[in-house]
Structure 1
Amino acid sequence: MAASRAPRESDPSTDAKASKENRMKQTLPAQHQDQQPGREEGMQPQPEFISSQYRAAGKLDGKLTVVTGGDSGIGRSVAVTFAREGADVVLLYLEESEDALKACQIIESLGRSCLEMAGDVADAGFCAEVAQRVKERWGRVDVLVNNAGEQHPQASLENISQEQWERTFRTNIFGMFQLTKALLPLMGEGGAIVNTTSITAYKGNPELIDYSSTKGAITSFTRSLALNLVKRGIRVNAVAPGPIWTPLIPSTFNAEQVSRFGANTPMARPGQPDEVAPAYVYLACADSSYVSGQVLHVNGGTVVNG
């Protein structure tokens, strides 16, 4: 029997296999930013937050929406998509004023109002200030999107300081509790709350123990609050993104980790913010009138049974 011949470089099956292996090894250019939560202008490629395929249908006409972490990433895409659906937006952010200004300019170019406020939702005083300004200007809130969050990888539990543990919880879940509590008196029947949890709440992450724990708390907060508010006609749901290309990623992970970000999903790539935003629209509008206490998983095909 003749010896089997090694495949040529042009063999389609070999090329396809090599292409797949390359995708699994690298999905993005290696890059890193030294400061959280990161800046969009320093990212390559730039995150996609406005989908050319999305068709607005006035699903949020005249609604007053509040979006935390709205300056960039998922938050900015949600805020802009809400504006495309006819909503006015209160855009809350930590300190990235340039990104926030750009987001507001886009919202206003769509003919909607945008109020931007810089501050930390972990500060109860800031949350009270937000509620007061919203009350004075609009007198109500129709939709609240609790999206702000932070993460700090550590190789082991012993490396997580008490300060980091408390900071992550204070931003990710305390801030969500405080802002929701401050704005709830302004929300009436038909209101909607959409929280950002994460795939890590369901799968865990060995280097994001504190972050994953807060996301688990957010999932439980969502379910319990939904049951608590159902008699008031307010729906509470959440979105659990998988790996999404936002400024938090290059500011969290090293360059080599960024280059492989999202490669372990069934789709072998990270998602873009504009691929997540429509899930928030659905949960915020009347299309989901019979949906509360639920989590939508937008994660590139990973099945988490949650």
Structure 2
Amino acid sequence: MSIDKDRQQPSQHQDKQPGERSKMTPLPKTEDDDYRPSGKLLDKVAIITGGDSGIGRAVSILFAKEGADVAIVYYDEHEDARDTQERVEKTGRRCISISGDLGDPSFSQVVVEKTLDTFGTLDILVNNAGEQHAYQSIADVTPEDLQRTFQTNIFSMFYMIQSALPALGEGSIIINTTSVTAYQGHPTLIPYACTKGAITTLTRSLAISLAEKNIRVNGVAPGPVWTPLIPASFDESKVERFGKNTLLGRPGEPVEIAPCYLFLATEGASYMTGQVLHPNGGRIING
């Protein structure tokens, strides 16, 4: 797989979170056409929140290529979800799409019940859904915005884990998406960065809690990645410059992040729990 360092994203903006893949230019790269699967997840079942686009889409497709059936959970980006489901099904695996608000405590139970009704089991939970909003000052953050960001990014993970846990047997996997902002902070994404710090701590604490059950819990902390969240969060000029301050001089593509999730979901990571992988374009975070 080769990503062109000179690949550019022009000025663009979307007015709605968490953004839509179909409206982006260029479209994020979410799969490697030359990838050769080897059945690493054969007949496993995975729930992937935020699975309709961005990193979640890339993970859904890669898991399916490796033999997993997938339940994609998303908010209301129906076109993106249909496209991702069709792509997953083209691999020969089964896929369902479930739309709703993960910030609603009752929705997580619906997700798990539909997954079990369709596939009969659950092996992997990927908590990936999120939203972010930029502010010039912490004084601009309204109580409503703060509550919403925490509901989507961290409360939803608690709800999903609580609902999924009775279905997760020994050897099951939980993977949480945190962020480089949890380790470096961010001047205009303070609520988002705070939720990502909480996700890192959740990952470490849950790993301790579930070790006796042999359920491994790990995380992935991407750096700047070209996903719908970016044009939905920043103005046109910042989008155009996004990711160019990394050592590699560009934002990552979702297809470059998905292999971290695959590794953590396989027996290749059998001695890893409570850990976080850092695909971030070369930023050293020492965390």
Choose the corresponding residue for 1:211, options 192, 216, 222: 192
Provide TM-score, normalisation by structure 1: 0.90
Secondary structure of 1:91's counterpart equals strand
Aligned pairs for 1:1-306 (under 5 A) are 27-306=8-287
The answer for the alignment partner of 1:5 in structure 2 is: none
Alignment correspondent of 1:7: none
Whether contact under 8 Å (1:62, 1:88) holds in the other structure is yes
Unaligned stretches of 5+ residues in structure 1: 1-22
- Aligned-partner Cα distance in 2 for 1:263–1:183: 38
Amino acid paired to 1:189: E
The letter for the 1-side match of 2:236 is: A
Q: Does structure 2 retain, via aligned residues, the 8 Å contact 1:79–1:91? A: yes
- Size of the aligned set, in residue pairs, is 283
* Corresponding position of 2:3: none
Q: Which amino acid counterpart does residue 144 of structure 1 have in structure 2?
A: L
Percent identity between the aligned chains? 51
3-state DSSP class of the match of 2:221? strand
Aligned partners of 1:56 and 1:74: how far apart in 2?
A: 19
2:162 partner amino acid: K
Deviation at 1:27, TM superposition (A): 4.5
Q: Could you list the runs of 4 or more consecutive aligned residues of structure 1 that deviate by over 2 angstroms after TM superposition? A: 52-55, 134-140
Structure 2: stretches of 5+ with no match in the other structure: 1-5
Alpha-carbon distance, 1:52 to partner: 2.4
TM-aligned CA deviation for residue 44 of structure 1: 1.0
| Root mean square deviation of aligned Cα | 1.3
